[in-house]
Amino acid sequence: MPRNPFRCLFCLSSAGQFTRREHPIPESLGNDDTFLPPGFVCDPCNQYFGSKLEQRVLNLAPFGPERVFQAVKTKRGKYSSVSHDGWVAQSSGFWDHVYLQSDPPHRYLLPLPDGRILVNPKWATPNDLVRLLLKIGLGLLALADSVNVYSGGFDAARGAPATAGSPANGTLDSRFILTEKIC
């Protein structure tokens, strides 16, 4: 794999600007150290993943509540919170210590007899989850010298998370998921 191919591994374009590093595992999941240098992901795709796909998926279950419970900081260095329909869970900065606010208590929070509270968060859609996981996987593969992530064998994977210029044109329908073997 060339060090700086200046070809986007998601939209396969060489036309856009390549000024940004790409974090295959989002910084909002605590990854500061593992990144691809500029040249692998064009700025429009990088921007799209950060502001649209990642922001949407990482604020919902399963990632959103886990970020709060595990005290993972946001990209801007703040402790994250997650909310849904009237309740807010905010990380205290300590593992498993969470501030929970709800006024009034309602159907998404269930007090258990032992004093704990069961939270029913809002979940990311399966399509969005798959798109983010494919985006993470392709980015991590690009770190490996022995894998050519530009080969056609990865086109279905790159088409799902990308914004444009791809076979799937930025969408992933249920047929794609159903073709995967689950068991």
- Which residues contribute to the site for Zn ion (CB under 5 A)? 8, 10-11, 42, 45
Is the CB of 28 or the CB of 46 nearer to Zn ion? 46
Smallest gap from Cβ 39 to Zn ion, in A, equals 11
Nearest distance, CB of residue 62 and Zn ion, angstroms: 27
Closest CB to Zn ion among residues 10, 87 = 10
Q: How far is the CB of 143 from Zn ion (least distance, A)?
A: 17
User: In this complex, which beta carbon is closest to Zn ion, that of residue 8 or of residue 98?
Assistant: 8
- In order of 52, 95, 144, the CA distances from 15 in angstroms are 22, 44, 24
Nearer to Zn ion, 91 or 166 (CB): 166
Compute the least distance from the CB of residue 142 to Zn ion, in Å. Answer: 13
